Amino acid sequence: MNLGIDDLPVRDELRGKSPYGAPQLDVPVRLNTNENPYPLPEPLVERIAERVREAARDLNRYPDRDAVELRTRLAEYLTDTSGYEVGLANVWAANGSNEVIQQLLQTFGGPGRSAIGFEPSYSMHGLIARGTGTGWISGPRHDDFTIDVAAARKAIAEHRPDVVFVTTPNNPTGTAVPAETVLALYEAAQAAKPSMVIVDEAYIEFSHGDSLLPLLEDRPNLVVSRTMSKAFGAAGLRLGYLAAHPAVVDAVQLVRLPYHLSAVTQATALAALEHTGTLLKYVEQLKGERDRLVGELLALGYEVTASDANFVQFGRFDDAHDVWRKILDRGVLVRDNGVPGWLRVTAGTPEENDAFLDAVREIKKEQGS
């Protein structure tokens, strides 16, 4: 029997929709999902094996449901790198920051409630909203992709969303959001509802500026979400976390599945956190490569959006998808996020970035401009 999704009794709001689907193509140079291109260093791989071997001896038991050791180490990392003190009670962890966001929307969104994001931004915010039955409101940005504060405040006052997403640096544009903007949106959200403001700092380690963690002080409705997928070079680990008032961490317990973080995940993340210094050295290298990509793309005559992340949005193209295909034909996979006229390239190793730059140089020459 030939059945499709829509032949099943799926929820109405899922009918006709597509899943998240960044292409996973087998090409020589993959610069499309903002991963860190450097494999984990061998001493860390050894340490992971050791920690996982230890954890394996207890796999007959459920893991630490509260992930106490891991959350303590994550709190130390946040405190050390931001100067703003957070402790175990402020931190929660899950399988990727996508799961953190899902738990937040299960807690503060849901049927009859809504969330707003300022688009273009990380598409999963809207998709997770849909998956949790939360209404989605697409808020505006300026043409240069910065948040239009006046329009954003107006949208918050009008729609009174339960959750406000602010992504800094923003994906796919790379745009950093100043603290004053987050404060303005937080105030608007409190006046309108009050609602939760989620600051998604997935790429903050690559930023020229500082983390917005200090804004958590006296703001119980603010959450900062983070991930080990980017700066830590551990996308395959699936470990995301948040920092917030302890009451937020308590609230999320109402929706998290028991034992959601496997003992193997906890052991692996703990090993990675022992090697924070080494892992963050790659961040400096990648920031240099990001800046090189910006410089070379500008020199080639492309427009580039100022980037505080490990990727660069470049354009403008009459037909961005056609250019995406031409770059792919040259063995380099970049991302077409559906932002009209723009593509996004992740900063890879110097060799990968050279391959990308050669491809766009060739395409530029072919077009005779």
Ligand X SMILES: Cc1ncc(COP(=O)(O)O)c(C=O)c1O
Q: Cβ distance 162 to 114 under 8 Å?
A: yes
Q: Least distance (Å) from ligand X to the CB of residue 101?
A: 7
Answer for the pair 251, 106: CB distance below 8 angstroms, yes or no: no
Tokens of 350: 């110097």
Kindly tell me which of 202 and 263 has the beta carbon lying closer to ligand X: 202
Residue 235 within binding range of ligand X, rule CB under 6 A: yes
96 contacts ligand X (rule: CB under 6 A): yes
Chain position carrying tokens 């009209």: 340
Q: Which of residues 155-184 bind ligand X (CB under 6 A)?
A: 167, 171
Cross-strand partners of 111: none
Residue 40 or 363: the one with the smaller Cβ distance to ligand X is 40
Q: Hey, which residues between 278 and 337 contact ligand X (CB under 6 A)?
A: none
CA distances from 125 to 105, 129, 161, 270, 368 (A): 9, 6, 14, 27, 40
- The reply to whether 268 sits near ligand X by the rule CB under 6 A is no
When asked if residue 211 is in the footprint of ligand X (CB under 6 A), the reply is no
Q: How far is the CB of 235 from ligand X (least distance, A)?
A: 6
| Binding residue (CB under 6 A) for ligand X from 229, 305, 307, 310 | 229
- Nearest residue to ligand X by CB is 96
- Are 261 and 67 in contact by the 8 Å Cβ rule? The answer is yes
Residues numbered 33 to 72 that lie near ligand X (CB under 6 A) are: 34
Q: What's phi and psi for 273, nearest 5 deg?
A: -70, -20
Single residue of 117, 161, 240, 315 touching ligand X by CB under 6 A: 240
What is the rounded CA–CA span in Å between residue 272 and residue 187? 37
For residue 244, give every residue at least 6 positions away whose Cβ sits within 8 Å of its Cβ, in sequence order, or none.
Answer: 90, 92, 216, 220, 222, 223, 224
Among 108, 122, 145, 232, binds ligand X (CB under 6 A): 122
Token digits for 104?
A: 């937040």
Q: Does 200 bind ligand X (CB under 6 A)?
A: yes
- Which C-beta is closer to ligand X: that of 198 or that of 360? 198
Does 32 bind ligand X (CB under 6 A)? Our answer is: no
Residue among 135 and 174 whose Cβ is closer to ligand X: 174
Binding region for ligand X (CB under 6 A) out of 36-44, 90-98, 313-321, 340-348:
90-98
For ligand X, give the closer residue by CB, 20 or 26: 20
Closer residue to ligand X in complex, CB, 178/194: 178
Task: Name the segment binding ligand X (CB under 6 A); options: 11-19, 59-67, 96-104, 286-294.
Answer: 96-104
CB of 122 to ligand X, least distance (A): 4
- Edge-to-edge strand ranges of the sheet holding 303-304: 303-304, 311-315, 342-346
Nearer to ligand X, 314 or 357 (CB): 314
- Binding residues for ligand X, rule: CB under 6 A, are 34, 96-98, 122, 167, 171, 200, 202, 227, 229, 235, 240
